[in-house]
Structure 1
Amino acid sequence: MKAPIPETQAKNTAHHAHWPEGLPYSLSIPDTSLYVNLQVSALRYPDRPAVVFYDTVLSYARVHEEVLALAGYLQKECGVHRGDRVLLDMQNSPQFLIAYYAILRADAMVVPVNPMLLTEELRHYVEDSGAKVAFVSQEIFSRVAPLIGETCLTKVVAAAYSDYLIEPTELNVPDFVRAPYAVPAAPGVVPWKEALAAKRAPREHQVGPEDLACMPYTSGTTGKPKGCVHTHRSVMFNAVASPTWTGVVVPDHVALAVLPVFHVTGMQSVMNAMVFSGGAVVMLPRWDRDVAGQLITRYKVTSWTVIPTMMIDFLSNPRLGEYDLSGIKLVSGGGAAMPAAIAQKLLDLTGQQYMEGYGLSETMAATHINPRQHMKQQCLGIPYLNVDSRIVDPITFKEVPQGEVGEIWIHGPQVFKGYWNDERKTEEAFAMLDGKRFFRSGDLGYMDAEGFFFFTDRLKRMINASGFKVWPAEVEAMMYRHPAVQECCVIASKDAYRGETVKAVIVKKPGSAASGEDIIQWAQDNMAAYKVPRVVEFVETLPKTATGKVMWKALQDRELAKQ
């Protein structure tokens, strides 16, 4: 017998007919900081694997010991205090997880950033967050180095992934992972191993559920990326709710972390979910379909969160038959719809239906997930534990009838507090409905008769390239630095592999002889690879409104009509 529907969720409850058997509609979560999840798992399961990195296995006891040492170093050697922001710029690795929880144990807030970002992009994250300390892996250290002393950043703990390649392995380990530590000695730069060896004991843990915990950055249609302020409570919710919903809340699960854990999906649905449960996280810094198959086989992976482009590549591997996938009990993901043919091939191979979900940086991952017993393809799922979601007319702020398209609004405990130092954008992001404060997602969709949500379009301008969110306004702002660009409008172009790719429609300056290849090469040198326009089209003029604004929607519609 299911629990009664809470009064706060008593509207739009058609989806409760498909609610997972035995689960309540609302979930109580720990009233502690997120760090305590690691502390508890280390006490309960000290010898169980916490992280697997190629063939190196780190126990919960060891991970916790190193977290305490680094937390003490942050506090006593780096001057980190309660509420300070600490940058975390690494690929999937033991160091990422350890640094993440060390920052939390030091009572500070994690600022995770995409390791593909270049120096000028990183400058904004440092200056906007006010981070004085950063954890950085050595293969991207050169991008951060110019910011030390030139910005508020004064100290960097630099790490080599090879420090955790203790066991010999015949797995294909990339050169950047095997490379020994080689960061040049410089003021403000401390090797990871040196920070650990200092063995500084941290002060008493002070923060609670309402303190700052994590600030992933996102962007809108205008301006630079904005920090999404999350407390320990909002991060804790999905760290607990996600494994509870999917059934991987027991400690014997093993999750393959191939999605980047700097991003909220990998961070929450994989890393933080496993730490809460006491499960193991198998880390892979970069996608490699053969190594993924070998790790699934060797470590009996039970849970895999993956995006469609990775799954398409994995299932097309001629060596697929060599891998034992029988242990997999859950395959899930989001960010882009899984093609029906690929989902069917996965089902035929593993017996697992791809579980799609929906969430944003502002909601610290999922707000909607498909229920196991009634999954729909190319569907966001249903509003899950503690979540109230509506489809609302973005102009009138009135709910639209079932089946009609409107903006997806979300009310739930995982919703962020607001944008860092931006009261105006925060105010614009929320609206009241039925006495509750809802986050306006900026995504358009509709709800079917069973209460399942479907995505149709974006109210905001955003390109989804292989799961990476590309914000056209940010790319345009950088493109204008090119000497040949007089005007530029960035739109999405369909791509058979990436789903969407970036296209730049450009008006060249008079007399410029720059080619599309020239501009693409320049972009590759000046911005993260996933943002680089793959297609350049030169035009005489850009369509504009009477007030002079570029009509990006007209260009986007024209592009889609061609495909």
Structure 2
Amino acid sequence: MSDALQFRPAHPNPNAPHLAHWPARLPLSITVPEATLWHNLEVSAARYPDKVAYLFMGQAITYGELKRRAEALAGWLQHEAGVRPGDRVLLYTQNCPQYVIGYHAILRAQAVVVPVNPMNKAEEFKHYITDAQARVAVCTADLAGIVHEANQGVPANERLRHVVVSRYADQMPPEGQDDASLNAPAPLMQWLRAEHPLPEGFTRWTDALALNHAPAPYLGHPDDLALLPYTSGTTGLPKGCMHTHRSLMHNAIGGGLWGQSTADSVVLGVVPLFHITGMLYGVLGPIYNGATVALMPRWDRELAGSLISRMKVTHWTCIPTMIMDLFNSPNYKHFDLSSLFYLSGGGAAMPEAVAQRLKDEFGLTFCEGYGLTETAAPTHANPPEGAKLQCLGMPMFGTDSRIIDPTTLQELPAGQVGEIVSHGPMVFQGYWRHPEATAAAFIEIDGKRFFRTGDLGRVDDEGYFFITDRLKRMINASGFKVWPSEVEMLLYKHPAVQEACVISARDDYRGETVKAVVVLRPEARGKVNEQEIIDWARDQMAAYKYPRIVQFSENLPKSGAGKVLWRVLQEQEQASQAPA
């Protein structure tokens, strides 16, 4: 047989130690089809037209209907909003079927999905309009006012031209026919059913779909830009990560294969869909496999327990705090969790006691994983048959990961702490309109392009990776990444703030929380208190991001060049929290 003939891709690092512990059920690498993400929905709709794709608050939508609505919205985007191939379209909703429809409608229009965190406020939202150079947005009614306010706050020539607005109730049972056995709390139902004024010039979702415009012929390619999720760094505003259909397709397939997901799987979709992890395990992977997703608009432990029990959920990707909260429910003994087959997550370490409780009570192994927005979620994962606790896992299909000295860039041996770098088909193409940041994010090793994660870690003798620290300034609050520089920039908008430095503080529930050390302007001293700064920040920033603690200081420690020494403040905070 010719050497040119290969049935599957070769592993990029055949000498990697973790391959000796690789699950026998899995191939080392996977062959990704020459197809787009839109094609995945077409295939599943053809295979399972009447199968439930998503269940949302008691209302089901089938794969056939999901495809039809996505096509109708794609037609509206093209015919009414003038969306052209490559245009960026903002997608700004909480978890709901409209997010999935909107996502695939944008792809069907051969445009680029720009997911925006629904916790973001108007000041934050402006950046997504201007930086992504977006002219169209898809949002829900509860967020339409924020879109309007943000849009009015940017230069006229950079504003959105079209916004289509859905109510959550558009994909729920008719009013008065809610399923009481779901155990959905009354405030949640009131929020979902609430009426909100439609800003002038915005288009109702139902009106857009009713036009039933047929989209233009689809000419998408696997290497087209498909997704532009934003992530922050140590400096500046959030940057868009450029992902093609191909880089996303790899993890959409690999993630399901790793967790043994099939068309008969039932997924609990509760991790926010705007987040790369929620997107992969709640949208892309299930649609590729033809699975069913029980979709939650936001976390609620009683609703989660009810859905797992009634829907016989088999797969749940989450953050550890959700499991801890579920265990704290007074009703958890009445939940039937016996259908759960694969439990995975990341964002924060799973406490040993909780992991043991899962094992003892339910026979479940929590499989921690690791990935970033830049890597379309996982580059590493723990296999259920060989999981290690508080461990990132082993590099996944076709991934080559190393530990390097962050200064000399030389590879380090097992056991030594250095920066985690990864090479693989899921790695992004670069930062949108930031060539310098893109160049700084990559390094070449053995002729291959490795992404510098900015995370410090080590690898053990068996090839499992562990995280130890972060090179980048990042706070991990219940799995949500908070970038101090972004919070600082917003704090500087407060008229009383002269200087601000944001650090992490220990939090028993969130793991870490946000603390701001603030120097007040002279005229504000004695007139503004800490709580006023916190209250102002709450109105300006996403809920997970605003400082929960504010400490006033006469000055901030600085280097000879005048740079704020945030590490000094961080070390002081850690010392103050250390046990006596």
TM-score by length of 2: 0.94
Distance 2:489 2:554 in 1: 20
Q: For the structure 1 residues 437 and 295, does the alpha-carbon distance in structure 2 shift closer, same or farther, using more than 3 Å as the test?
A: same
Within 5 A, what are the aligned runs for 1:138-217? 138-148=141-151, 150=156, 151-166=158-173, 168-170=178-180, 171=182, 172=184, 174-179=188-193, 181-184=195-198, 186-187=200-201, 189-217=202-230
SS of 2:12's partner is helix
SS of 1:506's partner is strand
| Residue 397 of structure 1 pairs with residue 409 of structure 2 | yes
Q: How far 1:308 sits from its partner (Å)?
A: 1.3
On the 8 A contact 1:488/1:507 being kept in 2, the answer is yes
Q: How far 1:207 sits from its partner (Å)?
A: 1.1
Q: How far 1:526 sits from its partner (Å)?
A: 1.1
Within 5 A, what are the aligned runs for 1:330-341? 330-341=342-353
Distance 1:554 1:269 in 2: 39
> In the alignment, which residue of structure 2 is the partner of 1:359?
371
> In the alignment, which residue of structure 2 is the partner of 1:49?
52
> In the alignment, which residue of structure 2 is the partner of 1:289?
301
Distance 2:11 2:42 in 1: 35
Q: How far 1:559 sits from its partner (Å)?
A: 1.1
> In the alignment, which residue of structure 1 is the partner of 2:360?
348
Within 5 A, what are the aligned runs for 1:509-548? 509-511=521-523, 512-513=525-526, 514-548=528-562
Distance 1:478 1:223 in 2: 11
Within 5 A, what are the aligned runs for 1:391-540? 391-511=403-523, 512-513=525-526, 514-540=528-554
Q: For the structure 1 residues 41 and 4, does the alpha-carbon distance in structure 2 shift closer, same or farther, using more than 3 Å as the test?
A: closer
Q: How far 1:148 sits from its partner (Å)?
A: 4.1
On the 8 A contact 1:393/1:399 being kept in 2, the answer is yes
Q: After the TM superposition, which of the residue ranges 359-368 and 151-160 deviates more from structure 2?
A: 151-160
Superposition RMSD in Å:
1.4
Distance 1:454 1:56 in 2: 42
The C-alpha deviation readout for 1:295-338, integer Å capped at 9, x for no partner, is: 11111100001101111111111100111111000110011111
Q: How far 1:506 sits from its partner (Å)?
A: 1.3
Q: How far 1:10 sits from its partner (Å)?
A: 2.2
Distance 1:385 1:361 in 2: 18
| Residue 234 of structure 1 pairs with residue 247 of structure 2 | yes
> In the alignment, which residue of structure 1 is the partner of 2:130?
127
SS of 1:403's partner is coil
Distance 1:159 1:181 in 2: 11
On the 8 A contact 2:505/2:574 being kept in 1, the answer is yes
Name the % identity: 50
> In the alignment, which residue of structure 2 is the partner of 1:382?
394
On the 8 A contact 1:163/1:180 being kept in 2, the answer is no
Distance 1:8 1:83 in 2: 31
| Residue 137 of structure 1 pairs with residue 144 of structure 2 | no
Q: Letter of the 1:245 partner, please give it.
A: W
Distance 1:308 1:297 in 2: 19
Q: After the TM superposition, which of the residue ranges 373-382 and 343-352 deviates more from structure 2?
A: 343-352
Q: Letter of the 1:95 partner, please give it.
A: Q
SS of 1:561's partner is helix
Distance 1:178 1:263 in 2: 21
Q: Letter of the 1:300 partner, please give it.
A: K
Gaps of 5+ in 1: none
Q: Letter of the 1:515 partner, please give it.
A: N
Query: Which of 14, 30, 33 is the equivalent residue of 1:30?
Result: 33
Q: For the structure 1 residues 418 and 4, does the alpha-carbon distance in structure 2 shift closer, same or farther, using more than 3 Å as the test?
A: closer
Q: How far 1:153 sits from its partner (Å)?
A: 0.6
The C-alpha deviation readout for 1:35-82, integer Å capped at 9, x for no partner, is: 111110010011111001021111111111101111111111110011
Distance 2:150 2:530 in 1: 31
Distance 2:545 2:78 in 1: 36
On the 8 A contact 2:8/2:30 being kept in 1, the answer is no
Q: For the structure 1 residues 429 and 176, does the alpha-carbon distance in structure 2 shift closer, same or farther, using more than 3 Å as the test?
A: farther
Distance 2:36 2:361 in 1: 40
> In the alignment, which residue of structure 1 is the partner of 2:320?
308
Query: Which of 250, 271, 274 is the equivalent residue of 2:286?
Result: 274
Q: Letter of the 2:454 partner, please give it.
A: G
The C-alpha deviation readout for 1:419-442, integer Å capped at 9, x for no partner, is: 000100000001101100000001
On the 8 A contact 1:148/1:154 being kept in 2, the answer is no
> In the alignment, which residue of structure 1 is the partner of 2:330?
318
Q: How far 1:163 sits from its partner (Å)?
A: 1.1
SS of 1:525's partner is helix
Q: Letter of the 2:64 partner, please give it.
A: A
Matched length: 558
Distance 2:537 2:178 in 1: 39
Query: Which of 238, 245, 249 is the equivalent residue of 2:258?
Result: 245
Q: How far 1:349 sits from its partner (Å)?
A: 2.4
On the 8 A contact 2:145/2:199 being kept in 1, the answer is no
| Residue 10 of structure 1 pairs with residue 23 of structure 2 | no
Q: How far 1:264 sits from its partner (Å)?
A: 0.3
> In the alignment, which residue of structure 1 is the partner of 2:96?
93
SS of 2:522's partner is coil
SS of 1:373's partner is helix
On the 8 A contact 2:559/2:565 being kept in 1, the answer is yes
On the 8 A contact 1:524/1:532 being kept in 2, the answer is yes
SS of 1:227's partner is strand
Distance 1:310 1:196 in 2: 36
Query: Which of 96, 107, 119 is the equivalent residue of 1:116?
Result: 119
Distance 2:38 2:107 in 1: 6
TM-score by length of 1: 0.97
Q: Letter of the 2:342 partner, please give it.
A: L
SS of 1:200's partner is coil
Q: How far 1:180 sits from its partner (Å)?
A: 5.2
SS of 1:562's partner is helix
Distance 1:490 1:338 in 2: 26
Distance 1:74 1:424 in 2: 33
Q: Letter of the 2:10 partner, please give it.
A: P
Q: For the structure 1 residues 113 and 5, does the alpha-carbon distance in structure 2 shift closer, same or farther, using more than 3 Å as the test?
A: closer
Distance 1:429 1:108 in 2: 26
Q: How far 1:182 sits from its partner (Å)?
A: 3.6
Q: Letter of the 1:183 partner, please give it.
A: P
